[in-house]
Amino acid sequence: MSAPLVPAAAAFASALRRDLLQAARRPGEWLQPLAFFVIVTVLFPLSLDPELARLRHLAPAALWVALLLATLLALDFLYREDARDGTLEQFALSGQPFAVMIFAKTATHWLLTGLPLALVGPLAAISLGAPPQNALAVLWPLLLGSVSMSLIGSICAGLTLGTRRGGALLSLLVLPLAMPALVFGARATQLAIAGESAAGALYLLGAITVLALTLAPLAAAAAVRISLE
């Protein structure tokens, strides 16, 4: 076996592969948030006026609230299992940068929840009254937004790791941090559904995502390390 060029990258890849394999054996974990996302977007029309023209105004709100809540749901088991069976401690002892290993976990979280949700997003948008020719454009804000939410969530899940009442606290920590992404993302979605250019809002959302990509893995690693002690 040839020595990998960048050991950290190899460690990242193997951690990612391991997590994905595990998820493939337990489809419930990643199907659950997806089902939750669909249920929330279905509940909106049922609890409102099913007239499509009026629903269209609420579609961005429904999509983003559903995305945020589904991400939160999946965050609860982001580290829990690995903290219990000692995998995280092995990560810390592996000699690889801890932030890289934690980032691999965050990437899995996004691949298993953020990505499927974003892909379902256009369909959900159509069901909420978006014109089909505009629905595909909804994909971009949802993709970017779900990345930043997974990253923000990885910090907060690390902080609440090993605390008693995780769930409610986790949402209290995530919501103020996720709020800017939600504001820009919902606006971009709104413009996309209306068939207008969403570039301005998407740039801002992209800026937040890049900021989260650079800072969140470090903060998440610090948070998990503190929780492990």
Partner 1 sequence: MSWAWFHRFGSPPYFYRVAGKLAPWFGWSALVLVLVSLYGGLVRAPVDYYQSDAFRIIYVHVPASWLALMTYTTMAVSAAIGLVWRIKVAHAVAVACAPAGVSFTVVSLVTGMIWGQPTWGTWWAWDPRIVSQLFLLFFFLGYIGLRSAIDDPDRADRASAVLAIVGVVNVPIVRFSVDWWNSLHQAPTVMRMDKPAMPWEMLWPLLLMALAYTLYFFWIMLVRARAEVLRRDRGGQWVREALARDAAGGSA
Cα separation of 159 and 118, whole Å?
26
Residue 211 touches partner 1, criterion: CB under 8 A: yes
Among 23, 61, 139, 177, interactor with partner 1 by CB under 8 A: 177
**Could you say whether residue 180 binds partner 1 (CB under 8 A)?**
yes
Choose the stretch contacting partner 1; rule: CB under 8 A; options: 42-50, 64-72, 79-87, 219-227.
219-227
By CB under 8 A, is residue 184 in contact with partner 1? yes
- Residue 43 lies near partner 1 (rule: CB under 8 A): no
Cβ atoms of 104 and 19 within 8 Å: the answer is: yes
Is residue 149 a contact residue for partner 1 (CB under 8 A)?
no
Distance of CA 88 to the CA centre of its chain: 20
Give the range of 19-27, 89-97, 139-147, 203-211 binding partner 1 by CB under 8 A.
203-211
**What's the rounded Cα separation, in Å, for the pair 72 and 77?**
10
Q: Which residue in 11, 30, 9 sits closest to 111, CA to CA?
A: 30
Cα–Cα distance measured from residue 47 to residue 215, given in angstroms and rounded to the nearest whole number: 39
**CA–CA distance, 70 with 55 (Å, rounded to integer):** 21
- List residues binding partner 1 (CB under 8 A): 155, 159-160, 162-166, 169, 172-173, 175-177, 179-180, 183-184, 187, 204, 208, 211, 215, 219, 222-223, 226-227, 229
